[in-house]
């Protein structure tokens, strides 16, 4: 994502927990304790605009440590859902998260497509004004700037913060929502 697009998408939104119709915490767990756990909070407003609200990412933590950070972010923002990548750990990721908070609403996702393919629908949200940043997130923005049509070309081994943001935004605005159930034939 180009720096120009990121700057254009930055707004001075009052970021108060409880003012969002839906909040999702995206999580990209680290492959080792030395890695960074991407933890990004995104929300939709009443008009359906997605907003990056917080980057709570942290490095050098045990699985229990990053799970507590996720639970704290979910609690602080009143998250409706936590979406976590399961590629590094499978169902253990959900178990560790629920160990930090038994009531945490966790959905696991599998990164089957390449990073660029996963990022493209989210980039379109920003390009069309349907997504924005509530303030500056320098480390996240640096990772986003490393995405190209050919894939991830940024510094570092993996864009953990960007992946977490992409999972959250995908849950909020890209993933098809099922219509509410209805009773037929009465």
Whole-number Cα distances in Å, 139 to 43, 87, 92, 143: 19, 23, 27, 6
Domain containing 154 equals: 3-173
Burial annotation 110-148 (CB, 10 A radius, 16+ → b, else e): ebeeebeebbeebbebbeeebbbbbeebeebbbbbbbbe
The average pLDDT across 26-41 equals 92
Among 9-13, 101-105, 124-128, name the one with the lowest average pLDDT: 9-13
| Domain assignment of residue 21, yes or no | yes
For position 14, what pLDDT does the model report?
Answer: 67
- The answer as to whether 129 is a domain residue is yes
Q: Looking at the domain assignment, is residue 181 inside a domain?
A: no
Per-residue pLDDT at 183: 63
Number of folded domains that form the chain: 1
**Is residue 98 assigned to a domain?**
yes
Written as six digits, the tokens of 29 are: 């767990």
CATH number at residue 24: 3.30.420.240
Please name which of 48, 71, 45, 46 lies closest in space to residue 58, comparing C-alpha atoms: 71
Task: Kindly report, residue by residue over 162-180, the tens digit of the pLDDT.
Answer: 999 999 999 999 875 555 5
Summarised one tens digit per residue, pLDDT across range 51-97 is 999 999 999 999 999 999 999 999 999 999 999 999 877 788 999 99
Token pair listed for 6: 């990121």
Mean pLDDT (the chain, rounded): 87
Q: Residue 54 domain-assigned?
A: yes
> What local confidence, expressed as pLDDT, does residue 78 receive?
93
Residue 180 domain flag: no
For residue 116, the model assigns a pLDDT of 76
- pLDDT confidence of residue 24: 97
pLDDT of 142 higher than 60: yes
Contact between 56 and 75 under an 8 Å Cβ cutoff? The reply is: no
Is residue 122, in this structure, part of any structural domain at all?
yes
- What would the DSSP string read from start to end of 13-82? ----TT--SEEEEEEE--SSTTSEEEEEEEEE-TT--EEEEEE--EES--HHHHHHHHHHHHHHHT-SEE
pLDDT tops 90 at residue 118:
no
Question: First-to-last CA distance in the chain?
Answer: 51
Helix (H, G, I), strand (E, B) or coil at 93: helix
Indicate whether 163 belongs to any domain.
yes
Q: What is the pLDDT of residue 178?
A: 53
pLDDT band for 29, please (50, 70, 90 cuts). very high
pLDDT tens across 146-163, in order? 877 777 777 777 889 999
Task: Please tell me the pTM assigned to this model.
Answer: 0.88
């Amino acid at each position: 994502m180009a720096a120009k697009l990121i700057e254009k998408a930055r707004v001075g939104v009052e970021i108060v927990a409880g003012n969002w119709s839906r909040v999702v915490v995206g999580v990209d767990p680290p492959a080792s304790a030395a890695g960074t756990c991407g933890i990004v909070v995104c929300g939709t407003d009443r008009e359906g605009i997605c907003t990056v609200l917080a980057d709570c990412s942290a490095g050098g933590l045990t699985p229990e440590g990053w799970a507590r950070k996720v639970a704290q972010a979910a609690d602080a923002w009143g998250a409706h859902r936590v979406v976590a990548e399961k590629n590094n750990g499978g169902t253990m990721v959900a178990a560790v998260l629920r160990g930090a908070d038994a009531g945490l609403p966790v959905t696991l996702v599998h990164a089957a497509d390449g990073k660029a393919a996963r990022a493209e629908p989210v980039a379109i949200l920003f390009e069309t004004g349907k997504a924005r940043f509530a303030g500056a997130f320098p480390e996240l923005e640096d990772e986003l700037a490393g995405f190209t049509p050919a894939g991830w070309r940024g510094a570092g081994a993996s864009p953990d913060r960007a992946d977490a943001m992409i999972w959250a935004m995908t849950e909020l605005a890209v993933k098809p929502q099922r219509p509410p159930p209805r009773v037929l034939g009465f």
